[in-house]
């Protein structure tokens, strides 16, 4: 199963790397936001925030990308660790985030990946991530956007069209 997951991640990574050994921070963000249920406007807000905050990127290699995606598979464990670590859901810093990931998964994330995630999700610019800024959005991605509300007959067609528009715009 792990090999299949690695192959899927490799394929997703290579779609954006285009023969290079790294993907841009913006492309990393696009991958993270791809399966969320954000509106097109919210999606663009996240990408614009990242563009403003990271002006000259160094890129993200496959190992760092894979490690982060594997962390997302343990998001529930991380959410619990984050609550315990921060007592009453206070926002956390980059170093606290890395520590909570290490505690919950046993793995360390790349410093640059964590910094990129903070630049993308830190809505209020306080260099801290709150539960709502990160966990809520990423839980949608882990479920690949397939929440029961999406499949209600009324909303299915609108969501489908929005997904197609977003994919065409960002491809």
Q: How many domains does the chain have?
A: 1
- The model's pLDDT over 55-86, given as tens digits with 9 standing for 90+, comes to 888 999 999 999 999 898 888 888 887 777 66
**Is 35 in contact with 141 (CB distance < 8 Å)?**
yes
Buried b (16+ CB within 10 A) or exposed e, 12-39: ebeebbeeeebbbbbbbbbbbbbebbbe
Question: In which domain, by residue range, is 135 found?
Answer: 2-169
Which residue stretches of the chain have pLDDT < 70? 1, 85-89, 140-161, 163, 170-171
Q: How far is residue 8 from each of residues 77, 94, 112, 144, 153, measured CA to CA in Å? A: 23, 28, 23, 13, 30
Whole-structure pTM value: 0.79
């Amino acid at each position: 199963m792990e090999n299949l997951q690695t192959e899927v991640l490799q394929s997703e990574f290579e779609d954006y790397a285009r023969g290079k050994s790294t993907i841009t921070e913006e492309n990393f963000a696009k991958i993270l936001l791809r399966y969320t249920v954000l509106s097109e406007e919210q999606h663009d807000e996240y990408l614009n925030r990242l563009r403003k905050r990271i002006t000259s990127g160094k890129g993200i290699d496959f190992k760092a990308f894979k490690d982060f995606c594997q962390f997302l598979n343990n998001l529930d464990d991380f959410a619990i660790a984050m609550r315990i670590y921060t007592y009453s859901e206070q926002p956390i810093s980059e170093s606290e985030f890395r520590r909570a990931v290490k505690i919950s998964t046993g793995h360390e994330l790349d410093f640059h990946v964590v910094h990129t995630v903070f630049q993308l999700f830190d809505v209020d610019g306080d260099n801290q991530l709150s539960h709502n800024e990160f966990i809520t959005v990423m839980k949608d991605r882990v479920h690949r956007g397939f929440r029961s509300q999406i499949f209600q007959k009324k909303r299915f067609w609108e969501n489908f069209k929005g997904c197609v528009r977003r994919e065409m715009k960002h491809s």
